Amino acid sequence: MIEVLTLFVPGRPRTKGSLTPMVTPGTGRVRLTDSDDSKHWRRVVTAAVRKERERIGQYGPRPMLHRRVPVALALTFLVPGDPIDHEMGDLDKFERNVLDALSGCDDTCGRFCGKHAGLYADDAQVIKLLSEKMGPRADVGVVIQAWRADQ
Ligand SMILES: [Zn+2]
């Protein structure tokens, strides 16, 4: 495996899927949406990964690892409290948020959608995933390591 990216993203890790009921103006319908904390964290991760891609000269409109490349990831989430406390969040939901942030834009995205960092094109490319939750830590965030799994 060849390492393609390693970075630390500071900020408290947030889960994807902690849905909040929202009333749609006009129709009055209730729909479920990700919490603002969750969306904000995802944008922080996206911005940090894009910046790192720029730093290593791998930033562009296309995903860094194209659709046919298998990817391995190691994610270490540093949380502010005891990692087994319910309030710290579920590990698989932390994973979901970061995996989505690392994927590429699709046809429905704007040019700078802020939700996709484009490390790879599609979450399906991730064939290996090792993740860990650690705490309590003052330096909260996530360490992301990515490898091409085909070389
Ligand atoms: Zn996008």
Task: Give the pLDDT of residue 34.
Answer: 77
Residue 104 has pLDDT above 90, yes or no: yes
pLDDT per residue as tens digits for the range 11-68: 999 998 766 666 777 888 777 677 889 999 999 999 999 999 999 999 988 899 999 9
Ligand 1 centroid, distance to 107 Cα (angstroms): 8
Task: Give the pLDDT of residue 116.
Answer: 94
Express as a percent the part of the chain with pLDDT over 70. Answer: 95
Domain count, the chain: 1
Q: How far apart are CA 118 and CA 102, in angstroms?
A: 6
Q: Is 47 helix (H, G, I), strand (E, B) or coil?
A: helix
Ligand 1 centroid, distance to 22 Cα (angstroms): 23
Ligand 1 centroid, distance to 98 Cα (angstroms): 14
Task: Give the pLDDT of residue 20.
Answer: 65
CB 75 within 8 A of CB 119: no
For residue 109, what are the domain limits? Answer: 2-148
State the CATH number of the domain containing residue 129.
3.30.1330.70
Q: How far apart are CA 115 and CA 45, in angstroms?
A: 9
Task: Give the pLDDT of residue 69.
Answer: 97
Task: Give the pLDDT of residue 82.
Answer: 98
Q: Is 121 helix (H, G, I), strand (E, B) or coil?
A: coil
Phi first, then psi, for residue 12 (nearest 5°) are -75, 120
Task: Give the pLDDT of residue 23.
Answer: 75
Task: Give the pLDDT of residue 88.
Answer: 95
Ligand 1 centroid, distance to 105 Cα (angstroms): 4
Ligand 1 centroid, distance to 115 Cα (angstroms): 5
Instruction: Tell if the pTM clears 0.85, that is, is over it.
Output: yes
Ligand 1 centroid, distance to 77 Cα (angstroms): 24
